[in-house]
Amino acid sequence: MNGSGNGSRVLIYSHDTFGLGHLRRCRTIAHALVERHQDLSVLILSGSPIIGSFDFRARVDFVRIPGVIKLRNGEYTPLNLHIDIEKTLAMRSSIIKHTAETFDPDVLIVDKEPLGLRGEVEETLHMLKDRGTHLVLGLRDVLDEPASLAPEWRRKRAVPALRDLYDEIWIYGLPQIWEPLTEIKLPKSVQRKITYTGYLPRSVSSQLPKRDTPDITKRPYVLVTTGGGGDGEDLIEWALRTYESDEMLPYPALLVLGPFMQPERQADYIERANRLERVEAITFDPHLEILEKNAAGVVSMGGYNTFCEVLSMNKRAIMVPRTVPRREQYIRVSRAQELGMVGMLVDDGEFDTRAMGDALRGLPSQKRPSEIIIPGLLEGLVNVNRLIEPWITPAEQGAPQTVVPHRA
């Protein structure tokens, strides 16, 4: 454990093999921690190839480890390096361990994968546990449907890691919406480590510099966002076809294609959007939350981060969740639809423009998320700060306190 006297330290591991979700969640947590704790430094370990495109607050930095991507057959391959995947993973593991050894954190937060990608964090976990570092596993609200998650966790030796290595398990959601580990046979000792924090709220910084925004945002618009975009082509295709076939939809549309969408598909969608008066397309915006805040409504796939942003900014939303390779988004969005928080369309591959058009026409009269009262829904960051306080330098006197989070 850090004994240097140079302030407390938190290390966050994000494996980042696909999309932006893990990185954006970890960045949100890091920013909330340094805002609350003036003597704290946070370092993020990430494999994201575009982590340098994001702004980071003072006392937050990152180490970029070599990127890998998951192929459709479930195998991993290096993102850029033309070397064997095993050598790439060995490099990643070595960088992770050396960084942890040198940074010497008071707390390690591992995002989603208990032992890291292909076990790359296991050696580091043992080392830090011997040093007295407080070890936390952070999980999103939904991981996958139980029938798929249970064998996956057995294969990855997740439960022994939770039992023997981790001190706490934080679930960034609420049991009223979903209990991601309900079908996993967890020992009582592990169950006692679980805390539901609530969802992680998002906000728009008032300190961002002035910047150019797409022309279409100068009037009420719908934001169509795919997140990272690597699997968002069907959503963009459906939205574009709908606007191509119906000029009377209530709002124009801004399409954010995502940085991981295939370049040739990006070019095709931008060309088609340019032919429409009421549609504009861009590839990426690191401050997507600004576009969300200013939008009249949001059309998205239903990933964790977009869901949190829709809740935080109280936006009417139509969500089109993916169902492969995981049913995570479908579970989250269908549950939110049952509660009346969002609208949902199911992508059956037909791109039914009438269904999408009807949903867009109904958007102005749709309920806002805040009309559904769920206590503690957006208290995730407050509770993360409360949970971490015993393990780092005490926060300033007079800082606000909160209720104890939901225990499993």
Joined together, the tokens standing for residue 204 give 């728009």
The CATH class of the 215-371 domain is alpha beta
Q: What is the pLDDT of residue 396?
A: 45
Q: Which residues, in sequence order, are bridge partners of residue 254?
A: 223, 280
> Is 8-201+378-407's fold the same as 215-371's?
yes
Cis peptide before 325 (omega within 30 of 0): yes
φ, ψ for residue 80, nearest 5 deg: -125, -35
CATH (residue range 8-201+378-407): 3.40.50.2000
**Please, are residues 278 and 219 in contact by the beta-carbon 8 Å criterion?**
no
Sheet holding 253-256, edge to edge: 279-282, 253-256, 222-225, 297-300, 317-319, 343-344
Separation between Cα atoms, residue 227 and residue 317, nearest integer Å: 15
Q: What is the pLDDT of residue 57?
A: 94
| pLDDT tens for each residue of the chain, 408 residues long | 665 557 999 999 998 766 678 899 999 999 999 999 999 999 999 998 889 888 999 999 999 999 888 776 667 888 888 899 999 999 999 999 999 999 999 999 999 999 999 999 999 999 999 999 999 999 999 999 988 999 999 999 999 999 999 999 999 999 999 999 998 999 999 999 999 999 999 988 766 667 788 999 999 999 999 988 888 999 999 999 999 999 999 999 999 999 889 999 999 999 999 999 999 999 999 889 999 999 999 999 999 999 999 999 999 999 999 988 889 999 999 999 999 999 999 999 999 999 999 999 999 999 999 999 999 999 999 999 999 999 996 544 334 444 445 666
Separation between Cα atoms, residue 312 and residue 141, nearest integer Å: 16
Which ranges of 187-262 does DSSP label H, i.e. alpha helix? 188-191, 233-245
Q: What is the domain partition of the chain in residue ranges?
A: 8-201+378-407, 215-371
Amino acid at 404: V
Per DSSP, the residues of 102-127 read HH--SEEEEES-TT-GGGTTHHHHHH
- What is the bridge-based pairing of β-strands 68-70 and 222-225? unpaired
Separation between Cα atoms, residue 406 and residue 196, nearest integer Å: 5
Per DSSP, the residues of 311-344 read HHTT--EEE----SS-SHHHHHHHHHHHTTSSEE
Separation between Cα atoms, residue 167 and residue 161, nearest integer Å: 10
Entry pTM: 0.92
